[in-house]
Protein backbone atom coordinates (compact mmCIF):
# COMPACT_ATOMS: atom_id res chain seq x y z
CA UNK A 1 0.00 0.00 0.00
CA UNK A 2 3.05 2.27 0.16
CA UNK A 3 2.47 3.64 -3.36
CA UNK A 4 -1.27 4.18 -3.03
CA UNK A 5 -2.32 7.04 -5.34
CA UNK A 6 -3.84 10.05 -3.55
CA UNK A 7 -7.27 9.50 -5.05
CA UNK A 8 -7.42 5.98 -3.75
CA UNK A 9 -6.26 7.08 -0.34
CA UNK A 10 -9.05 9.67 -0.15
CA UNK A 11 -11.66 7.08 -0.92
CA UNK A 12 -10.23 4.89 1.81
CA UNK A 13 -10.29 7.72 4.38
CA UNK A 14 -13.80 8.79 3.46
CA UNK A 15 -15.02 5.25 3.80
CA UNK A 16 -13.80 5.04 7.40
CA UNK A 17 -16.35 5.68 10.11
CA UNK A 18 -15.75 8.78 12.21
CA UNK A 19 -15.22 6.46 15.16
CA UNK A 20 -12.43 4.70 13.34
CA UNK A 21 -10.85 8.01 12.40
CA UNK A 22 -10.70 8.95 16.08
CA UNK A 23 -9.37 5.50 16.92
CA UNK A 24 -6.58 6.03 14.40
CA UNK A 25 -5.91 9.50 15.77
CA UNK A 26 -5.58 8.16 19.32
CA UNK A 27 -3.14 5.58 18.10
CA UNK A 28 -1.08 8.23 16.25
CA UNK A 29 -0.87 10.26 19.44
CA UNK A 30 1.02 7.30 20.87
CA UNK A 31 -1.80 5.73 22.84
CA UNK A 32 -3.37 2.32 22.79
CA UNK A 33 -6.97 2.81 21.63
CA UNK A 34 -7.82 -0.65 22.90
CA UNK A 35 -7.02 -0.02 26.54
CA UNK A 36 -9.86 0.19 29.04
CA UNK A 37 -10.13 3.94 29.44
CA UNK A 38 -9.92 4.60 25.71
CA UNK A 39 -11.95 1.78 24.23
CA UNK A 40 -15.20 3.74 24.08
CA UNK A 41 -13.59 7.13 23.62
CA UNK A 42 -14.04 7.30 19.83
CA UNK A 43 -17.76 6.67 20.24
CA UNK A 44 -18.01 9.37 22.93
CA UNK A 45 -16.00 11.88 20.92
CA UNK A 46 -18.21 11.40 17.88
CA UNK A 47 -21.27 12.15 20.02
CA UNK A 48 -19.68 15.12 21.69
CA UNK A 49 -18.39 16.62 18.41
CA UNK A 50 -21.84 16.23 16.88
CA UNK A 51 -23.24 18.21 19.79
CA UNK A 52 -20.52 20.86 19.68
CA UNK A 53 -21.09 21.46 15.97
CA UNK A 54 -24.86 21.04 15.86
CA UNK A 55 -25.19 24.65 14.74
CA UNK A 56 -24.56 23.41 11.20
CA UNK A 57 -27.93 21.69 11.25
CA UNK A 58 -29.79 24.86 12.27
CA UNK A 59 -30.60 28.10 10.51
CA UNK A 60 -31.81 31.50 11.67
CA UNK A 61 -35.25 31.20 10.04
CA UNK A 62 -35.92 28.03 11.96
CA UNK A 63 -34.60 29.42 15.26
CA UNK A 64 -36.57 32.66 14.97
CA UNK A 65 -39.70 31.04 13.60
CA UNK A 66 -42.84 32.49 15.27
CA UNK A 67 -40.70 34.73 17.48
CA UNK A 68 -40.73 38.03 15.60
CA UNK A 69 -43.28 40.50 16.92
CA UNK A 70 -44.58 43.84 15.70
CA UNK A 71 -44.19 46.49 18.37
CA UNK A 72 -44.51 50.18 18.87
CA UNK A 73 -41.32 50.51 20.85
CA UNK A 74 -38.11 52.17 19.84
CA UNK A 75 -35.96 52.07 22.94
CA UNK A 76 -32.89 49.91 23.20
CA UNK A 77 -33.39 46.21 23.92
CA UNK A 78 -30.44 44.62 25.72
CA UNK A 79 -29.75 40.98 26.51
CA UNK A 80 -26.72 40.71 28.77
CA UNK A 81 -24.27 37.99 29.73
CA UNK A 82 -25.35 35.30 27.31
CA UNK A 83 -22.99 32.39 27.88
CA UNK A 84 -21.62 30.72 24.79
CA UNK A 85 -19.27 27.87 24.01
CA UNK A 86 -17.61 27.54 20.65
CA UNK A 87 -14.74 25.76 18.93
CA UNK A 88 -11.76 27.59 17.48
CA UNK A 89 -11.46 26.52 13.87
CA UNK A 90 -7.68 26.84 13.89
CA UNK A 91 -6.99 24.40 16.71
CA UNK A 92 -10.28 22.59 17.32
CA UNK A 93 -10.14 23.74 20.92
CA UNK A 94 -12.91 25.50 22.81
CA UNK A 95 -13.33 29.19 23.31
CA UNK A 96 -16.08 30.41 25.57
CA UNK A 97 -17.37 33.51 27.22
CA UNK A 98 -20.25 35.94 27.31
CA UNK A 99 -22.15 37.92 24.74
CA UNK A 100 -23.73 41.33 25.25
CA UNK A 101 -26.36 42.07 22.66
CA UNK A 102 -28.47 45.12 21.99
CA UNK A 103 -30.65 46.48 19.25
CA UNK A 104 -32.94 49.43 18.71
CA UNK A 105 -36.16 48.15 17.12
CA UNK A 106 -37.70 49.53 14.00
CA UNK A 107 -41.22 48.12 14.36
CA UNK A 108 -40.22 44.57 15.20
CA UNK A 109 -38.63 42.72 18.10
CA UNK A 110 -37.29 39.21 18.58
CA UNK A 111 -38.67 37.04 21.37
CA UNK A 112 -36.09 37.41 24.15
CA UNK A 113 -35.45 33.71 24.62
CA UNK A 114 -34.51 33.41 20.96
CA UNK A 115 -31.46 35.62 21.20
CA UNK A 116 -29.42 33.13 23.23
CA UNK A 117 -30.53 30.42 20.82
CA UNK A 118 -29.29 32.48 17.92
CA UNK A 119 -25.93 32.88 19.64
CA UNK A 120 -25.83 29.14 20.26
CA UNK A 121 -26.61 28.34 16.65
CA UNK A 122 -23.55 30.23 15.41
CA UNK A 123 -21.33 29.27 18.37
CA UNK A 124 -21.86 25.55 17.85
CA UNK A 125 -19.76 25.50 14.74
CA UNK A 126 -16.07 25.76 13.98
CA UNK A 127 -15.50 29.46 14.44
CA UNK A 128 -13.27 32.42 14.90
CA UNK A 129 -14.55 34.92 17.42
CA UNK A 130 -14.64 37.79 14.93
CA UNK A 131 -16.88 35.92 12.50
CA UNK A 132 -19.13 34.65 15.29
CA UNK A 133 -19.65 38.25 16.41
CA UNK A 134 -20.44 39.42 12.92
CA UNK A 135 -22.79 36.54 12.13
CA UNK A 136 -24.92 37.20 15.20
CA UNK A 137 -25.16 40.89 14.29
CA UNK A 138 -26.02 40.15 10.67
CA UNK A 139 -28.67 37.58 11.61
CA UNK A 140 -30.45 40.09 13.86
CA UNK A 141 -30.14 42.78 11.20
CA UNK A 142 -31.62 40.48 8.59
CA UNK A 143 -34.43 39.21 10.80
CA UNK A 144 -35.92 42.51 11.99
CA UNK A 145 -34.05 45.32 10.20
CA UNK A 146 -33.65 47.28 13.42
CA UNK A 147 -32.31 50.84 13.66
CA UNK A 148 -29.10 49.32 14.90
CA UNK A 149 -27.44 46.26 16.43
CA UNK A 150 -24.55 46.08 18.88
CA UNK A 151 -22.69 42.94 19.90
CA UNK A 152 -19.77 42.49 22.25
CA UNK A 153 -18.23 39.08 22.79
CA UNK A 154 -15.64 38.49 25.45
CA UNK A 155 -14.05 35.06 25.40
CA UNK A 156 -11.22 32.94 26.68
CA UNK A 157 -9.51 30.70 24.17
CA UNK A 158 -8.13 27.39 25.34
CA UNK A 159 -5.82 27.31 22.33
CA UNK A 160 -4.05 30.33 23.82
CA UNK A 161 -4.42 29.41 27.49
CA UNK A 162 -3.40 25.75 27.30
CA UNK A 163 -0.57 26.25 24.87
CA UNK A 164 0.82 29.13 26.86
CA UNK A 165 0.77 31.46 23.87
CA UNK A 166 -0.69 34.26 25.94
CA UNK A 167 -1.27 34.98 29.59
CA UNK A 168 -3.64 32.41 30.98
CA UNK A 169 -6.26 34.84 32.16
CA UNK A 170 -6.29 37.04 29.12
CA UNK A 171 -9.53 37.36 27.25
CA UNK A 172 -10.35 38.52 23.77
CA UNK A 173 -13.03 41.09 23.07
CA UNK A 174 -14.71 41.54 19.72
CA UNK A 175 -17.55 43.81 18.76
CA UNK A 176 -19.89 44.65 15.92
CA UNK A 177 -21.77 47.95 15.80
CA UNK A 178 -24.35 48.47 13.09
CA UNK A 179 -26.76 51.30 12.28
CA UNK A 180 -27.36 53.80 15.09
CA UNK A 181 -24.73 52.12 17.26
CA UNK A 182 -22.22 53.00 14.60
CA UNK A 183 -23.54 56.44 13.63
CA UNK A 184 -24.64 57.81 17.02
CA UNK A 185 -22.02 58.09 19.69
CA UNK A 186 -24.68 58.66 22.35
CA UNK A 187 -26.46 55.38 21.56
CA UNK A 188 -23.21 53.48 21.53
CA UNK A 189 -22.16 54.99 24.87
CA UNK A 190 -25.53 54.20 26.40
CA UNK A 191 -25.08 50.58 25.38
CA UNK A 192 -21.52 50.43 26.68
CA UNK A 193 -22.43 51.92 30.05
CA UNK A 194 -25.44 49.59 30.47
CA UNK A 195 -23.29 46.60 29.64
CA UNK A 196 -20.49 47.58 31.99
CA UNK A 197 -22.82 48.11 34.91
CA UNK A 198 -23.02 44.97 37.06
CA UNK A 199 -21.86 42.78 34.16
For the annotated catalytic residues, the residue numbers are 88-91, 129, 157, 159
* 83 bridge partner residues: 98
The answer to whether the CB of 99 falls within 8 A of the CB of 62 is no
Alpha carbon distance, N-terminus to C-terminus of the chain: 59
Q: How many CA atoms lie within 13 A of 85 on its CB side?
A: 8
Q: Is the dihedral of CA 103, 106, 107, 108 positive or negative?
A: negative
Closest CB to Zn ion: residue number: 159
Which of positions 125-164 make contact with Zn ion (CB under 5 A)? 159
Residue 199 CB contacts under 8 Å (≥ 6 apart), including other chains: 80, 81, 98, 100
Cα-trace Rg, the chain: 21
**Which one among 43, 91, 134, 182 touches Zn ion, defined by CB under 5 A?**
91
Binding-residue pattern over the window 38 to 67 for Zn ion, x denoting contact by CB under 5 A:
------------------------------
For Zn ion, which is the closer residue by CB, 93 or 192? Answer: 93
**Which one among 45, 88, 119, 177 touches Zn ion, defined by CB under 5 A?**
88
State in angstroms the smallest separation of the CB of 162 from Zn ion.
10
**Which one among 90, 145, 163, 196 touches Zn ion, defined by CB under 5 A?**
90
Residue numbers at the binding site for Zn ion (CB under 5 A): 88, 90-91, 159
Amino acid sequence: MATTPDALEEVTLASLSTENLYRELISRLGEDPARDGLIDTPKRVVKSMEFLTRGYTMDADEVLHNALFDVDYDEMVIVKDIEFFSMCEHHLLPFFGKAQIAYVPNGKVIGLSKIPRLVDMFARRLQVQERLTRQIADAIEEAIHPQGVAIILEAQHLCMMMRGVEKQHSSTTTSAMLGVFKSQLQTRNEFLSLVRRAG
